[in-house]
A and B are shown apart, each in its own frame.
Chain A
């Protein structure tokens, strides 16, 4: 049920984001979504890709420090209040979210939320119990070309 997320360390200076993205593009690896957390000095690029093992290899060979993290994807209705509703459920369940990001799918009426929980296994249990739909990797990949 869990997804593998790749994280990269980037210096915060011009051109640093483009380089790793080009490296995996050259290998024909498609990015489902990404998020960037940054300070004035450095950034952390987080990527969900179709073939994470190959992407990790490519990036590491090119010299990046890549970290592998298990994250959880949940789908919600792509309409006003969709995210808020999901977050309310999470708040009530006392799950600790390290960070999250979201994206909408090009097809259908769904948006995907990506969560980094302290304890992903318990989170999946709680989310499922509360009636939220946890999307696994295979299903997520089927949504995109």
Chain B
């Protein structure tokens, strides 16, 4: 396979795949169009797409320019759910090499399939942003992302191996152990969620260690939204350079885009993804640099050729030149969502999941409020539930059991640990029309 290519430290801006990353725009757009046409052919093997495309009489010949992508149908999370578990596959099951998943509003994950070729592509994409953000073959990398259905752990793992660096697959959690391993093995690079990086710093201080003296020099953080303020804090506390990257399991996982040393936005791997930025109401493109919903078409995915996936993520796109020499379009941080999805400690949570959990506990009223805060470095969730005659008991053990039961149901449905706060009747605000169910005080929008 491809070995270390242009990653020598002599160059000011090392790149994993210089040819792809600095390709002139016209040349790349021609490649994108060619790949989009091929992808449309592949999509026809998926009954869901075949029906829509036949009905609209769309074929590769309908795509005369990249703008014609707008003639293609959107794909939403709901479409994925309706095709549960693997209805969007364009290849026979036996050709799958891996299956990942992400949390869904119903408590059952939505699954994403990969062929061996997809996994190769994915590793390449992760290698690109890791190298852009300073990873070198001689480095050792501590991966404190979850390994499992979540795409973070495995995605980054193989990207690091692709670059030729050494991986310590510690996985998420057990911060003391993370620190012991860090001291024993001297990794220069840390991979985790940004909030976990701050937890590592806090825990180090609790143990009497100076966080700035830890061996880590570079951090690649993702899996949850964060801000420039958080970046400054992480860099200051750990004395590292922190890089942002973006991806989502529905498309491939991490590797859709990532920052270079210039940190002027995340370079989108445009030869593999066609990214649109649309007004979520009109679905018309927004002017360059304006916030809009990212809509992504995977141009090279074999197992699941996603057409115009509506990410619900709000960000901005930039085409002005980057000092690093890459010619790709860049995206800003994700500054919001067009739906009500929350990302809590890296887990996607919809308020409707909390509601579903409450519905499983008889007598809990329809009045609830989800409070999300970040008192220290980690997200905390309090679900306020109004007390109701049906569930009130004079016995403390029963009341405690009720809280525990609600908490357990939330864990089952939404996959997060939440504090359950019972509140007096009519304490929660009543709404005419759409109820406001979430109070998020983390201040994540830039």
Contact = CB atoms under 8 A, between A and B. Distances in A.
B302 to A, nearest CB: 52
Interface in A32-75: 37, 39, 41-42, 44, 46, 63-67, 69
Interface range for B: 10 to 19
A69 B421 contact: no
B400 A64 contact: no
A44 B423 contact: no
Is the contact region of chain A dominated by helix, strand, or loop, or is it mixed? strand
Contact of A11 (B388, B396, B399, B427): B427
A99 interface: yes
Contacts of B388: 65
Contacts, number: 49
Contacts of A66: 389
Contacts of A39: 396, 400
Interface string B382-393: 000001110011
Interface stretch (A2-10, A22-30, A102-110, A126-134): A2-10
A41 B423 CA distance: 9
Interface string B422-444: 11111100000000000000000
Given A39-B396, A65-B392, A67-B392, A9 B426 contact: no
B399 A44 contact: yes
Contacts of B206: none
A98 interface: yes
Contacts of A9: 387, 392, 422, 424
A21 B328 CA distance: 69
A44 B424 contact: no
B425 A67 contact: no
Contacts of A67: 389, 392-394
A46 B422 contact: no
Given A65-B388, A65-B389, A11 B424 contact: yes
A69 B424 CA distance: 19
B395 interface: yes
Interface residues of A, number: 21
B382 to A, nearest CB: 10
Given A7-B392, A99-B395, A64 B422 contact: no
Nearest to A41: B421
A11 B394 contact: no
Given A9-B387, A42-B399, A65 B424 contact: yes
Nearest to A38: B396
A42 B389 contact: no
Contact of A37 (B396, B421, B425, B426): B396
Nearest to B393: A67
Given A11-B427, A65-B388, A41 B394 contact: no
Contacts of B392: 7, 9, 65, 67
Given A67-B392, A99-B396, A41 B422 contact: yes
A7 B396 CA distance: 11
A5 B393 CA distance: 12
Nearest to B424: A11
Contacts of A37: 396
Contact of B425 (A42, A44, A65, A98): A65
A36 to B, nearest CB: 11
Given A10-B424, A41-B422, A65 B387 contact: yes
Given A11-B423, A37-B396, A39-B396, 12 more contacts: A5-B394, A9-B387, A9-B422, A9-B424, A11-B424, A39-B400, A41-B421, A42-B399, A44-B394, A64-B424, A99-B396, A116-B394
**Nearest 5 pairs between A and B by C-beta?**
A7-B394, A9-B387, A37-B396, A69-B394, A65-B392
